[in-house]
Structure 1
Amino acid sequence: MNTPPPPDASRRTARGTAVAAATAVCLLLAGCSGGGEAGGSGKDAAGRPGGARMKVALVTHGAPGDAYWDLVQKGAQVAAAKDGIDLTYANDADPAGQAKLVRDAIRDKADGIAVTLAKPEAMKGPIAEARAAGIPVVGLNSGIDAWQAEGVLEYFGQDESVAGRAVGEKLNGLKARHTLCVIHERGNVALEARCAGVKKTFGGQTQMLYADGTDMDTVTASISASLHQDPSIDEVVTLGAQYALAAVKSVKETRSKAHVATFDLNKDLVAAVRKGDVQFAVDQQPYLQGYLAVDALWLYRTNGNVSGGGVAPVLTGPAFVTKKNVAAVAKYAADGTR
């Protein structure tokens, strides 16, 4: 993938000895400041006039009330504070709604956009419009197989197919025989890839269950119904921390002998792993995804850096959290950053 030069790169040319001489005179005169760009363009390193703060929009497919995205936002906010960025967060689980939010960011003249690609087809148009407007776009969390084709500069996240295959192998080691993989958002490429990966390497039977992730009571009821209907299910794999806790509830209500494992992590899930209610969690580090996405836009605008060279994703997972190592992340989970 060819990486375009950052905005205003052509204006940052060296002025040679003339600039050096001017700087020396400037330093000799009281009240002369070293701020601003050489040549007095009145723009900062990110190309903003008058030293105005860089504006970044983070647009995700997160559903209302999904605590996972709180971790992504926290990481993004820390990076924004460090880099002096005005950060705007917006989310819509509906692909058309998310596309509109990206277009809103373009109209607001954002200096950079970070976007999730759970439904890549819906993002093609808005990303192309951002590029035409000279706005760099980076991807995070979802869409690892689509980000380059979409024209995104960089991508930060987990290879969900790899993570799913790793879970399948782990279940083989645990001697599981029949796995129920719960997909809480139909059509989300990342979630579908996780369960497909599990099925690819798991030696037993893998059964998919689609549930409405926006209604936790429905998720619990759907899992309970599956456990009632087929007592041979001995493992429930969920794709989000809150859904794992719902699965634990379903297992107890139905008196099933099934174990629960999950993707993703939060402080309540850490407690469940410690207690033994959940066997393990796959941590893709959402805080890190948010942090890296925002920081990458700042680095690109100010220094032309492109992580992975624009040809390889920056992987933030997978990492397994089990009862043996959960103490190492418990403190950070309690602080709301893991």
Structure 2
Amino acid sequence: MRTPVTLLLITALAASACTPRHQAPPDPSAGITVAVIAGPLSDPFFGAVKSGAERAAADLRVRVDYLAPAASGELGAELVRLTRSAVANKVSAIALGDYYPDQQDPEIRRAVDAGVTVVLVNSGEPSWQKVGATAYVGQDEQRVGELAGQRMAEAGVRRAVCVNHVPGSPVMAQRCAGLRTALSHVTEITLASAEATNPTATQQAISGALSADPLVDGVFTLGSGFAELAMRAVDSVKRADKVRVATTDLSTGVLESVRDGKLLFAVDQQPYLQGYYGVQVAVQQISHGLRPTTPVRTGPLVVDRANAASVLAHNRDGGIRGAR
């Protein structure tokens, strides 16, 4: 004999079976493709940008295509070509560095006019609003130079060389300009493209600057690979005990040199976060109409002898710190 409780349970189960199951709302990020346009992966810095972008793609369930200019090509023209190609392929968004505004800005505006969400990453703070980009993700480049100059001055540097390996890039010019605000004398060396891609030529250019001015007691490079060449140049002119070298950006060699006291410090802009946030901001804008109202800062952070070992320990995480 069925009890009232049994009948109530049967009735509830029957009602449940007849009620339509709740369906999850559609994923607003479904079908989104983000083209990330940045530098060649031969540079560990851009390897970290790519890793961050791919992690964001996995977390947000979107597609990311990483595009880089050919190292042998004319960089500004190559970046314009890649932007144009991404738009033609009907990507949802583009996250890119605005390294050569005079060449790139017209093409970026055309992408925005075509309905593509654009986020400027790593380079482009002065122009992100002018070109209609959703946001800028990166660091304050002037502040990078100021901070480096302050730290070098504290170490006793009075007369420095700033090594600019990307002529025509406002980012590099801003870093050297910032350095001048804290040091009494700064000479900027601008490497031609042929020199910047030739380690021997780069080392010779730095050695020549040191030989030309025996009072130089500091060298500031604007990329991790150039720091290692600068240290060799200092050794070649027999001034390792008198010239302090510092740099922007990280690599395994740079971190080991900072840890061992051979390199004064490195200024980190956390490129992994630039790649991650660049994709994340684009997806949030497309999916929900959300956007930052100010630049998204990922640096600068100073890595010196006090914290280099802890940063170096993250090498085994796949280059998240740009430190392969």
Give TM-score scaled by structure 2 length.
0.87
Does the 8 Å contact 2:37/2:97 carry over to 1? Answer: yes
For 2:17 and 2:238, the matched residues in 1 are separated by: 79
Partner residue in 2 for 1:236: 219
Partner residue in 1 for 2:79: 98
Q: For the pair shown, which has the larger CA radius of gyration, 1 or 2? A: 2
Does the 8 Å contact 1:223/1:247 carry over to 2? Answer: yes
* Equivalent of residue 206 in structure 1, options 163, 183, 186: 186
For 2:123 and 2:174, the matched residues in 1 are separated by: 10
For 1:101 and 1:77, the matched residues in 2 are separated by: 19
| C-alpha spacing 1:233/1:27, structure 2 compared with 1 (3 Å) | farther
* SS in structure 1 of the partner of residue 150 of structure 2: helix
Shift of 1:190: 0.7
* SS in structure 2 of the partner of residue 149 of structure 1: coil
For 1:137 and 1:292, the matched residues in 2 are separated by: 13
Counterpart mapping for 1:245-284 below 5 A = 245-256=228-239, 257-284=242-269
2:23 aligned with 1:34, yes or no? Answer: yes
* SS in structure 1 of the partner of residue 143 of structure 2: helix
| C-alpha spacing 1:302/1:176, structure 2 compared with 1 (3 Å) | same
| C-alpha spacing 1:236/1:35, structure 2 compared with 1 (3 Å) | same
Partner residue in 1 for 2:305: 323
2:46 aligned with 1:55, yes or no? Answer: no
For 1:27 and 1:190, the matched residues in 2 are separated by: 64
Counterpart mapping for 1:75-86 below 5 A = 75-86=52-63
Shift of 1:122: 1.6
Partner residue in 1 for 2:161: 180
Partner residue in 2 for 1:8: none
Does the 8 Å contact 1:58/1:114 carry over to 2? Answer: yes
Shift of 1:213: 2.1
Partner residue in 2 for 1:313: 295
| C-alpha spacing 1:26/1:91, structure 2 compared with 1 (3 Å) | farther
For 1:275 and 1:144, the matched residues in 2 are separated by: 35
Q: What's the % identity of the aligned pairs?
A: 33
How many pairs were matched up? 297
Does the 8 Å contact 1:59/1:89 carry over to 2? Answer: yes
For 1:119 and 1:266, the matched residues in 2 are separated by: 25
Give TM-score scaled by structure 1 length.
0.83
* Equivalent of residue 119 in structure 1, options 80, 94, 100: 100
For 1:57 and 1:189, the matched residues in 2 are separated by: 23
* SS in structure 2 of the partner of residue 306 of structure 1: coil
AA aligned opposite 1:74: S
Gaps spanning 5+ residues in structure 1: where? 1-23, 38-43
AA aligned opposite 1:337: I
AA aligned opposite 2:208: A
CA RMSD after TM alignment: 1.9
Shift of 1:229: 2.1
For 1:59 and 1:268, the matched residues in 2 are separated by: 26
For 1:245 and 1:27, the matched residues in 2 are separated by: 71
* SS in structure 2 of the partner of residue 282 of structure 1: strand
* SS in structure 1 of the partner of residue 174 of structure 2: helix
